[in-house]
């Protein structure tokens, strides 16, 4: 086994850490650990950092504290922080104690921030220039900064004595500027920045809106403590979209194909129970009209049509609203605008679908009464579907709940209830008051 791992790892060393992670993450955990042990120090840690979260936590259990400290030593501090976050508190402390101070101190500083904030996302690798330095001495500082990659110097942040952000300098101006000028003379004073506590969804919106490649992150004292890059935000945007899609249908937001079924179950089953309660609410409406159905069984045939159409139409509206909310494309006043739009769409769709259903009902069962009942119920259900599709996410947002949260369950509940009420209610009225005999 060890031998096999060694041979395999020889090939892996040529690869990007993200590709190594892809190759090994579907293997049994002990094999993954063996392979990582044979890889050179920075690469092994980098590959570990690229593994899916699902696997990280369990895989880290395979290593001793010493091995972990070894893996983390040459890693970027924010990668180390992410990995340490997967460990329980006592193990985290033990590993931190094994690390040299120049690693453990900055890592502990990063560990204090929530995972989904600017502080949790940022890298602490950036270049800060002192505003009262000369350009010449700043150039020397850059020359010495050999461990920085090209990406890290896209932006040079200018700070005062207390590390407070005062401006941003272009690399070109710094390199080609007259050597005896001060950095303060060439910097641009107005800088967009993030706060350590800024939420990642908001950060993703900002980056998409303004097309930033990177933004500095400030702490409460206005000191520059890190930088967030567009490449980090890209991953976040993909995760946020995934979470929204999952929340909508009643999932945890974090399930992946690789998630073992035992871990998926507690994420799925509670929402299935919620759905069950709402389904019984719809069933209660049918039960209320049980005697109507007993006299007119053909009604039962149309129940899934009414429910299915309303649910689908409602999901269309809901999806547009929820996604636009997530993208930050909805502003105040759009709620009313959206309601008006859905009013027209509900009538148009309702008429188009209602007439089709009415026609089928007539051709199939030869009953004009059934046809009229189905058609009118369909029109009203589409109207309710559209309006509820707007009101559910706006209400959830107003209640400060994620508007995507289980929203598909809420919308189908409303469309089912409305659909059955209209359809069976109209049928009952037709029988009772119009003397329709099925």
Binding residues for a second copy restricted to 333-372, rule: CB under 8 A: 333-334, 337-338, 341-342, 344-345, 348-349, 352-353, 356-357, 360, 364
Closest separation in Å from C-beta 90 to a second copy: 32
Is-contact 65 95, C-beta < 8 A? yes
Report the residue from 100, 297, 363, 433 that binds a second copy according to the rule CB under 8 A.
297
Structure tokens at 216: 């500095």
**Residue 244 found at the interface with a second copy (CB under 8 A):** yes
From residue 205, alpha-carbon distances to 68, 194, 310, 405 in Å are 36, 12, 32, 20
Contact residue for a second copy among 224, 315, 388, 391 (CB under 8 A): 315
Strands, sheet with 224-229, edge to edge from the N-terminal-most edge strand: 194-195, 214-218, 224-229
Task: Pick the binder of a second copy from 92, 154, 163, 376 (CB under 8 A).
Answer: 154
Q: Which of 269, 379, 247 is nearest to 319 (CA)?
A: 247
What 8-state DSSP symbol labels residue 181? S
Among 42, 85, 308, 425, binds a second copy (CB under 8 A): 308
Contacts of 132 (CB under 8 A, 6+ apart): 160, 182, 183, 184
For helices 230-248 and 298-326, angle between their N-to-C axes, nearest 10 degrees: 160
| Binding status of residue 223 toward a second copy by CB under 8 A | no
Instruction: Tell me whether residue 4 or residue 348 sits nearer to a second copy (CB atom).
Output: 348
# binding residues, a second copy (CB under 8 A): 119
Would you say 98 or 316 has its CB closer to a second copy?
316
Residue of the chain from 6, 7, 11, 18 that contacts a second copy (CB under 8 A): 18
Member of 117, 138, 309, 371 binding a second copy (CB under 8 A) = 309
**Residues 21-60: x/- map of binding to a second copy (CB under 8 A)?**
-x---x-------------------------x--------
For the stretch 262-291, what's the b/e string if a residue is b when 16 or more beta carbons lie within 10 angstroms of its beta carbon?
Answer: eebeebeeebeeebeebbeebeebbeebee
- Asked if 331 interacts with a second copy (CB under 8 A), we say yes
How are strands ordered across the β-sheet holding 165-169? 127-130, 156-159, 165-169
Look at residue 291 and give its three-state secondary structure.
helix
Structural contact between residues 415 and 316, judged by C-beta atoms closer than 8 angstroms: no
Q: In Å, how far from its chain's centre is CA 418?
A: 32
- Specify whether the CB–CB gap between 309 and 190 falls below 8 A: no
Of these, 44, 183, 237, 383, which contacts a second copy (CB under 8 A)? 237
Which helix or strand (DSSP H or E) is residue 169 part of?
Answer: strand 165-169
Q: Which of 1, 143, 220, 435 binds a second copy (CB under 8 A)?
A: 143
Among 232, 396, 426, 428, binds a second copy (CB under 8 A): 232
Contacting residue, 56, 77, 166, 323, with a second copy by CB under 8 A: 323
For the CB of residue 321, give the shortest distance to a second copy in the complex, in Å: 7
Cα 342 from Cα 349, distance rounded (Å): 10
- Residue 4 touches a second copy, criterion: CB under 8 A: no
Residue 18 or 105 having the CB closest to a second copy = 18
Q: Which member of 320, 355, 394, 397 binds a second copy (CB under 8 A)?
A: 320
Restricting to residues 391-420, name those near a second copy by CB under 8 A: 408-409, 412, 416, 420
Is residue 170 within 8 Å of residue 229, measured between CB atoms? Answer: no
With a CB cutoff of 8 Å and minimum separation 6, the contacts of 23 are 12, 15
Which one among 161, 172, 180, 400 touches a second copy, defined by CB under 8 A? 172
Minimum CB distance to a second copy, residue 42 (Å)? 15
Nearer to a second copy, 45 or 311 (CB): 311
Site membership for a second copy, residue 149 (CB under 8 A): yes
Contact set for a second copy, span 195-214 (CB under 8 A):
204, 207-213
340: how many CB neighbours lie within 10 A of its CB?
Answer: 11
């Amino acid at each position: 086994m060890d031998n096999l791992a060694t041979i395999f790892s020889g090939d892996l060393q040529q690869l990007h850490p993200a590709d190594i992670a892809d190759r090994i993450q579907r293997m049994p955990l002990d094999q993954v650990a063996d392979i990582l042990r044979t890889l050179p120090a920075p690469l092994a840690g980098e590959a570990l950092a690229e593994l899916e979260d699902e696997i990280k936590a369990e895989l880290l259990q395979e290593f001793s504290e010493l091995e972990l400290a070894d893996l983390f030593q040459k890693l970027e501090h924010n990668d180390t922080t992410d990995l340490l976050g997967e460990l329980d508190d006592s193990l985290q402390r033990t590993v931190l104690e094994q690390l040299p101070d120049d690693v453990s101190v900055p890592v502990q500083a990063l560990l204090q921030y929530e995972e989904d904030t600017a502080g949790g996302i940022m890298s602490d690798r950036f270049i800060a220039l002192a505003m009262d330095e000369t350009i010449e001495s700043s150039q020397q500082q850059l020359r010495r900064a050999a461990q920085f990659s090209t990406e890290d110097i896209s932006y040079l942040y200018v700070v005062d004595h207390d590390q407070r952000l005062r401006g941003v300098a272009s690399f070109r101006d710094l390199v080609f500027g007259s050597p005896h000028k001060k950095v303060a003379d060439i910097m641009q004073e107005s800088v967009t920045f993030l706060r350590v506590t800024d939420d990642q969804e908001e950060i993703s919106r900002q980056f998409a809106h303004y097309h930033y490649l990177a933004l500095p992150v400030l702490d409460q004292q206005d000191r520059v403590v890190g930088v967030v890059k567009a490449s980090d935000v890209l991953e976040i945007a993909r995760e946020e979209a995934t979470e929204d899609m999952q929340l909508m249908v009643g999932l945890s937001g974090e399930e992946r194909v690789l998630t073992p079924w035992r871990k998926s179950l507690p994420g799925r089953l509670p929402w299935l129970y919620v759905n069950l309660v709402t389904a019984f609410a719809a069933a209660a409406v049918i039960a209320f009209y049980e005697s109507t159905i007993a006299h007119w069984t053909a009604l039962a045939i149309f129940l899934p049509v009414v429910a299915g159409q309303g649910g689908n139409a409602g999901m269309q509206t809901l999806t547009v609203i929820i996604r636009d909310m997530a993208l930050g494309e909805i502003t105040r006043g759009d709620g009313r605008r959206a309601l008006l739009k859905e009013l027209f769409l509900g009538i148009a769709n309702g008429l188009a679908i209602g007439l089709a259903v009415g026609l089928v009902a007539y051709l199939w069962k030869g009953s004009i009464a059934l046809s009229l009942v189905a058609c009118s119920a369909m029109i009203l259900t589409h109207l309710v579907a559209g309006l509820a599709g707007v009101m559910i996410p706006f209400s959830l947002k107003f209640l400060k709940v994620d508007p995507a949260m289980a929203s598909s369950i809420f919308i189908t509940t409303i469309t089912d209830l409305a659909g059955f009420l209209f359809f069976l209610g109209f049928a009952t009225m037709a029988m009772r008051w119009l003397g329709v005999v099925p």
